Amino acid sequence: MTPVLAQIAQIFLVVALAPLITGWVRLVKARLNGRIGASPFQPYRDVFRLLQKEAVVAHSASWIFRAAPYVTFAAVWLAACIIPTFTTNMVLAPAADLIALVALLGVARFWTALAGMDVGTSFGGLGASREMMIASLAEPAMLMVSFSLSLITGTTSPAQIVAFVLSGGVGVEVSLGLALAALIMVAIAENGRIPIDNPATHLELTMVHEAMVLEYSGRHLALMEGAGMVRLTLFMALIGGIFAPWGMAQPEAGALGLAIGLGAFLAKCFLLATALGIFETVIAKMRVFRYADFLGGALLLGLLATIFLYVSEAV
Amino acid sequence: MLVASALSALLALAVLGVLAGGEVWRHRIVYLGCAVASLILIAGGLKHLGQTPGTGPAIVLPIGLPWLNAHFRLDNLSALFMVLVNVGTTAASVFGIGYTSHLPEPRRVTPFFPLFLFGMNAVLISDDAFMFLVSWEFMSLASWALVMSDHKNAENRQAAFVYLMMATFGTFCLLTCFGLLAGAQGAYSFPAMRATALDSVSGFLVVLLALLGAGSKAGLVPLHAWLPLAHPAAPSHVSALMSGVMTKVALYGLIRILFDLHGHVAWGWGAALMVIGGVTAVMGVLYALLQDDLKKLLAYSTVENIGVVVIGLGLAIAFKDGGEKALAALALVAALYHIINHSIFKTLLFLSAGAVITATGQRSLNALGGLLKRMPWTGAAALVGALAISALPPLNGFVSEWLIFQALFKGPSLPHWAMKFGVPVVGAMLALAAALAASCFVRAYGIAFLGRPRSKAAAEAHQLPGSMRWSMAVLAALCIILGALPVTVTDAVSHVVQPLTGVSFAVSADLGWPWLSPVSSTRGSYSGTVLVMTGLSLFVISILLVHGFGTTKVRRADAWDCGHAEDIPQTQYTGESFAQPLRRVFCGSLFSARETVDMPPPGDNSPARFKLRVVDHIWVGLYLGIQRLVGYVADRVNRMQFLTVRRYLLMMFATLVFMLLVVAVRQQK
């Protein structure tokens, strides 16, 4: 399979798969709560239903409100294109690295926050303000993770990191463990999952992401929700790809290798989604001003991951 | 020739500015002339950048000190700065054509504006210490006069006073610095300084004094205090130049001394610069987050960006001393690219702030809101500026930030343990500053341009003359071009860096155009061009998908707001409320930020009060501390005024004996 074909397949794979993963997390949570829960395919129907509905836009909204869903979705989608899912052999892989990935997610966040403030309601400002506070700690934490990964593997490109880990260049390192812990904490915050944010709440005290997209409806809401689903898939691909890259197809792999890669990717996603569902069920939501402790911890773990490299070298 | 004629034209325009009097069209002609002169200077700089031998011919004029004359020369570094300085001045001059009629007293501004432009350009082409300092002072005094232009406001007078003090301090440091560089023979021309070897003590002092002198002009913490006072006090197109461009001239001075005249700065200074830069970046952006005044916010954000540049410069020094020449070149290219980018988007943001202030008469964020609808051009240009300064792809701010991170990630390869442990910490500070900058500009843009108008003035804002809009549109376009097509510019910059680091280095060496792949092709790469094209296609695909599967119907209605919607604009978030979570997380100890709510007892109808107290410890501790010290010493010294003749003679005698002793001891050696 040529890099171009692999890239196109990846572009559509992440979007096609994303609602299923979100549906699966919801199903796991429902079962653990003792409910039967909706089918894991329910998010597809939800998105389709939203697309059919007319979009209601507030009188006070400007063009930013209407452009933001498209920009947010495209930015997250673009970020998801450069993370290797089933193969490392993709044409867009050199276009952006982990630093650019963080920044692309930043673009999505910037526009969503602006859209939250555009209508001029108190909830929109509340969501935007809290989201930027979370991001101001989560973003540096993720950059620190990139820093330690680049020191361990000698590159910041996700595809190259995966190739390096697959070639057996990395043993078991303390730093790698710390980086993994920091990345998971960042992933929880970036995706607005419990204990940072609750995707199923509309309560003033606890809302973050939902408060920003409160005014959206119809196709705009579908895009915002879609962006959230793709973002979740992206982080699963990132964590699964870097810390458990086994099965991923290398450039020289044939059709069988690609099939194994795809199967491995699906298996990893469902494992991680199940784990997320269990984690969200057993943990309680945090107060807003406790976030700083949680994310500051992630930042410090990322920093420790880089510094431990030299400590272990020196000992 | 081109450069010389443009510079003399600027001097002539200053005279025209004096003669302009009360007629608006005469002022407009002066600004038009400034724009043309700036364009000519850009052409002169660009023409030189293309040439291969880095240094142009020296021009010696028989002015200045009789035994020294005045030396001028254009080399690659000054040509690069000449281009970026004059891009900013062109935009500000074009803005000035329309803006001058909105000024309270244009005749206090117009004569000094060309002089300010002249001063900045003259610093860049000076080739001896004397001319450098004279031009530097020219630049400082002209901008001081511009800060004083609205002198009826007591706050502006105080700002101008603080600025004058800091400028004097800075020049004093630079004067001493050049004195040390010139050595005992007094070789004041730059080529002679390059040839002079420095001993370790004077080498140390040169860097320290350069850092104090140029750093105070650029706004390094804790010497930043004058920026947020003086930059906002000037008329907006001058603020844009002071913040966006003059700080770059200061950095030019720093780079010239550290990388060219001094030549061999030890890695320890690199580490110190990185720490200073990191602290400056984080403090600058936290200050910016706390501001309500639009122009003060922008001035503090300049402090942040200067910090980012200085991190790059420190890294380049450390790499250069550690023998990693290619990485030194990478760090320096990154710093220079950030200098170019910041000069563009900061000028843009200050001009749009000027447009907002002209249209509404309000500088406070909490009096603005909903301006994107009233001023679509300004709003769109300011959005590009806000995205660029928040280091978001595909705009230019991200490219330089990316390059600095790439260089920083290689920092631990230096042999020193301090660097191995220190670089990740500086990296975390840089990352924190970048993330906080995004919050800061979501806040500034969201509150000023989005939402509903918070005051009558904002609701009645009016469109502005064409020249003001065009200058912003061109700068916004430059932000996009420099972000989407970075390789062409970085290659030109690496040409500039070559004589400073001694290695020929192209950032796009491995993968070629349009990929930035600084270290090697597998090390991590970025391509704004490819990203823009892919991003745009995905954007179009999402529109097609959404409209293909669904409906395109839109209904306008009242805002929902969870059923709580009220028609009072005051229910919106304000600048203070937006910053509250960040203030609680970051500013509790750094700024002693305290919030108190006074609730009246039940039955009492008086309003509840929310009080926010923020202390600027640097201002209170350092600046007011020095003020108290000076007052105390002055009181003590004052006694010497009332001594008897006998005592005065005794003091003279003691001084004489002391001096003779010093001479005697020195001759003994």
pLDDT > 70 fraction of chain A, expressed in percent and rounded: 98
pLDDT in tens, A121-131: 989 999 999 99
Which amino acid does the sequence have at B2?
L
Helix (H) or strand (E) holding A55: strand A55-58
Return the pLDDT at B54. 61
Question: Within chain B, which residues score under 70 in pLDDT?
Answer: 50, 52-54, 508-512, 519-521, 669
pLDDT at A221 over 80: yes
Return the pLDDT at B436. 96
Return the pLDDT at B502. 80
Return the pLDDT at A56. 94
Residue B85 contacts by C-beta under 8 Å, 6 or more apart in sequence? Answer: B41, B120, B121, B124, B245, B248, B249, B343
How far apart are alpha carbons B295 and B349 in whole angstroms? 9
Q: Does residue A302 sit at the B interface (CB-CB below 8 Å)? A: yes
Q: A283 has which bridge partners? A: none
Return the pLDDT at B324. 87
Q: Does residue A122 sit at the B interface (CB-CB below 8 Å)? A: yes
| Band of residue A29 on the pLDDT scale cut at 50, 70, 90 | very high
User: What is the three-class DSSP state of B555?
Assistant: strand
Average pLDDT, chain A: 91
| Interface A:B, Cβ pairs < 8 A | 293
For every residue of A169-206, DSSP letters joined together read: -----HHHHHHHHHHHHHHHHHTT-TTT--TT---TTT
Contact assignment for A54 to B372 by CB distance below 8 Å: no
CA of residue B254 relative to chain centroid, distance: 13
Return the pLDDT at B2. 82
How far apart are alpha carbons A241 and A88 in whole angstroms? 10
Mean pLDDT of A285-290: 84
User: What is the three-class DSSP state of B596?
Assistant: strand
Return the pLDDT at B97. 93
Return the pLDDT at A175. 87
Read off φ and ψ for residue B75, nearest 5 degrees.
-115, -175
Contact assignment for B562 to A214 by CB distance below 8 Å: yes
DSSP category for residue B324: -
Contact assignment for A106 to B438 by CB distance below 8 Å: yes
Contact assignment for B557 to A71 by CB distance below 8 Å: no
Question: Which of A111, A132, A134, A212 to mutate to test binding with chain B, by most B CBs within 10 Å of its CB?
Answer: A132
3-state secondary structure B257-300: HHHHHHCCCCHHHHHHHHHHHHHHHHHHHHHHHHCCEHHHHHHH
Contact assignment for A77 to B538 by CB distance below 8 Å: yes
Q: Does residue A230 sit at the B interface (CB-CB below 8 Å)? A: no
User: Which of B409, B580, B582 is facing A150, going by the closest CB pair?
Assistant: B409
Mean pLDDT of A83-112: 92
User: CA of B136, closest CA in chain A: separation in Å?
Assistant: 38
Q: Does residue A104 sit at the B interface (CB-CB below 8 Å)? A: yes
User: What is the three-class DSSP state of A307?
Assistant: helix
Return the pLDDT at A55. 94
pLDDT at A46 over 90: yes
pLDDT at A255 over 70: yes
| Chain B partners within 8 Å of A160 (Cβ) | 522-524
pLDDT at A310 over 90: no
Contact assignment for A118 to B431 by CB distance below 8 Å: no
User: CA of A157, closest CA in chain B: separation in Å?
Assistant: 5
Return the pLDDT at A22. 95
Q: Does residue A51 sit at the B interface (CB-CB below 8 Å)? A: yes
Return the pLDDT at A1. 63
| Chain B partners within 8 Å of A70 (Cβ) | 539, 542-543, 546
Structure tokens at B571: 């229910």
DSSP category for residue B150: G
| Chain A partners within 8 Å of B392 (Cβ) | 103, 106-107, 110
Read off φ and ψ for residue B611, nearest 5 degrees.
-120, 135
Question: Which of A52, A136, A216 to mutate to test binding with chain B, by most B CBs within 10 Å of its CB?
Answer: A136
Q: Does residue A310 sit at the B interface (CB-CB below 8 Å)? A: yes
What are the b/e assignments for A286-302, b being 16+ CB within 10 Å? eebeebbebbeebbebb
**Alpha carbon distances (Å) from A168 to A65, A143, A162, A181, B501:** 48, 24, 10, 21, 37
Q: What is the ipTM, given to two decimal places?
A: 0.95
